[in-house]
Structure 1
Amino acid sequence: MDDDGLHARLKAYEGRPAAVAGTGRDPVNAPMIRHWCEAMGDGNPAYTGPDAIAPPTMLQAWIMGGLGGLGGHGGRAPAYEELLAVLDEAGCTAVVATDCEQEYVRPLRPGDEVAFDTVIESVSERKTTKLGTGHFVTTRTDVRVGPELVGTHRFRILKYAPARRRAAPPERRPRPVVNRDNAGFWEGVREHRLLLQRCASCAALRFPWLPGCQSCGCPEWDTVEASGEGTVFSYVVLHHPPFPAFEPPYAVVLVELAEGVRIVSDVVGMPYDKVRIGMPVRLEFRRYDDELTLPVFREVTA
């Protein structure tokens, strides 16, 4: 079926009922109002006390069927399900709620028993979105207490055929933040050298790089190249959340170098569940892409 034929078929559903003579499962009541206000953080005194009203934005809450389906009681008309089936046949198998609009005529109060009718108000022409191509379907629900209209709720969905997504390029490892305080360290990494700072006053070694000595405060320093020998001082296994370029689960280790300082890194060449505290490791440099080389560690085996 071409677009014009499909659109004409869809437009034929406009004005047809989606629910007739529905009634709320419960009267408007103070406990539901209290729960709503607590969840929303709304302390308006109008919603408490003997003259309390319900928050206007609860309009839809009184007509929702929950796990029991649409509405508490009343007739579900078949037109809406038929319309969705037509869209399914046309390949619009995915759905997303897009927005709602509400109009309030008068406040609802505890004890009010609501009734409602829902009509298919409009079906759009074919629209193309980032999600895919499909049709917006808008329903209008008139909510009453007895014969009196108290509010109107419009609800809009997009039924669409999901867009084909191009295969995403492989994610790159995050880039380190290089600044004037640590630029020398990353220059050393590019040369496959793990450089530690050494205080020019007290000779204390430090890592990560800092602008001054943690022991004596001296701002002067030179560098010492680490031997690359160390042991796993501690580690954690990351399962969640996933990060681009990493495949959980994986171990993040804190390695104590032979020089006495510690560095956070990876242990490569072994399963994450085989990493152990006290395990001897040796430094190596791994190139991840044209721009990024990182110091990592490998278990020392006999």
Structure 2
Amino acid sequence: MTDEAADGDLYERLKVHVGQTAAAGGEGKDPVNEPMIRHWCEAMGHPVPADGSAPATMLQVWTMGGLSGHTAGTARSSAYDDVFALLDGAGYTSVVATDCEQEYLRPLRPGDRITFDAVIESISPRKTTKLGTGHFVTTRMDVQANGELSGTHRFRILKYAPATTAKTPDTATTAKPAARRPRPVVNRDNAGYWEGLERHELLIQRCSGCGTLRLPWLPGCNACGSPDWDTVRAAGEGTVFSYVVMHHPPFPAFDPPYAVALVELAEGVRILGNVTGVPYDKVRAGLPVTLEFLTVDGEFTLPVFRSVED
């Protein structure tokens, strides 16, 4: 059997597990509670929502087992173990988490009892990535509060065989392709932000409920919890609030040392970006900067900030 035929057979065996249970009967170790909400908000630097509800992005927190693991009766299913066994047996023994998506259907409030179930939602055909070749496996967790669906959490991993780099006799004279910058993750919650950058507009979200500005973009207000918003265009002036100088680790698309700044815009929100027009060792807190736009690899646009001092 050829490698292509073998992989086709593997994929057919993997597909039968799509839609099967990945975990069932899960119970949150604690009900939604004010101390956990407060600790999370303090760690994230966000105010506690005025109505006392948990920030929507805490959804997964209430399903975690902690150091002692999940409660009795919550276990990964045999179907999920079978998928891993098939992939391991085919040589796809490495694993990396690639992304997650969440949907929020109703706020979680102190006292809510959390239960959850998970299914194997999809398994991709064989894909080749820079890491190697393998299959993407997506699970969907449905989270219930007091028996009512409150949100979903999709988690995607890649089970793969690492790529090997072919060696040539004369590597010193072999031309290497130009290094590429990492690509941004664009989804339905932030697509408008990236579209604005392509038009050379830095758009800040503005809550329709309380008027709070927020950046980076979020699906809901971190001040009042409202899901409704519009945008305002940043004027482009700001100051360096804080910064770090990167020396390590080296990355092919970057040339260390370089400065990464947290810039406070005139509108009051802060954003990470590179500072241009001044050596890295001259960047300082309080440095006035102005917004510019950098097209990367001819594919996407990033905001950068140029020093306005000589």
Give 2:81's aligned residue: 81
Matched, 1:121 2:121: yes
Flag structure 1 segments of 5+ consecutive residues without an equivalent: 171-239, 245-302
Judged with a 3 Å threshold, the aligned counterparts in structure 2 of structure 1 residues 241 and 142 are, in CA distance, closer, same or farther, namely closer
> 1:34, CA displacement in angstroms?
1.4
Q: Which of structure 1's runs of 4+ aligned residues deviate more than 3 A?
A: 166-170, 240-244
Give 1:26's aligned residue: 30
Give 2:97's aligned residue: 97
2:23 match: secondary structure:
strand
Give 1:72's aligned residue: 71
Judged with a 3 Å threshold, the aligned counterparts in structure 2 of structure 1 residues 45 and 17 are, in CA distance, closer, same or farther, namely closer
After superposition, give the CA deviation of every residue in 1:98-138 in whole Å (9 maximum; x if it has no partner): 11111111100111110001000010000000000000000
Q: Structure 1: how far apart are the matches of 2:152 and 2:142?
A: 5
Aligned length: 170
Judged with a 3 Å threshold, the aligned counterparts in structure 2 of structure 1 residues 242 and 57 are, in CA distance, closer, same or farther, namely closer
Give the number of the structure whose alpha-carbon radius of gyration is greater.
1
Q: Structure 1: how far apart are the matches of 2:147 and 2:249?
A: 54
Q: Structure 2: how far apart are the matches of 1:157 and 1:243?
A: 26
Structure 1 vs Structure 2 CA RMSD: 2.3
Q: What letter is aligned with 1:127? A: K
Check the 8 A contact 1:25/1:73 in 2, yes or no: no
Q: Structure 2: how far apart are the matches of 1:74 and 1:103?
A: 26
Superposed counterparts of 1:1-302, under 5 Å:
2-46=6-50, 51-69=51-69, 71-76=70-75, 77-166=77-166
TM-score (norm 1): 0.52
Check the 8 A contact 1:95/1:160 in 2, yes or no: yes
2:67 match: secondary structure:
helix
Q: Structure 1: how far apart are the matches of 2:112 and 2:16?
A: 35
TM-score (norm 2): 0.51
After superposition, give the CA deviation of every residue in 1:16-55 in whole Å (9 maximum; x if it has no partner): 1011111011111112111211111112543xxxx40001
1:37 match: secondary structure:
helix
2:74 match: secondary structure:
strand
Q: Structure 1: how far apart are the matches of 2:250 and 2:7?
A: 42
Judged with a 3 Å threshold, the aligned counterparts in structure 2 of structure 1 residues 27 and 85 are, in CA distance, closer, same or farther, namely same
1:140 match: secondary structure:
strand
> 1:242, CA displacement in angstroms?
7.8
After superposition, give the CA deviation of every residue in 1:61-95 in whole Å (9 maximum; x if it has no partner): 100112334x4343322211221111111111111
Flag structure 2 segments of 5+ consecutive residues without an equivalent: 173-246, 252-310
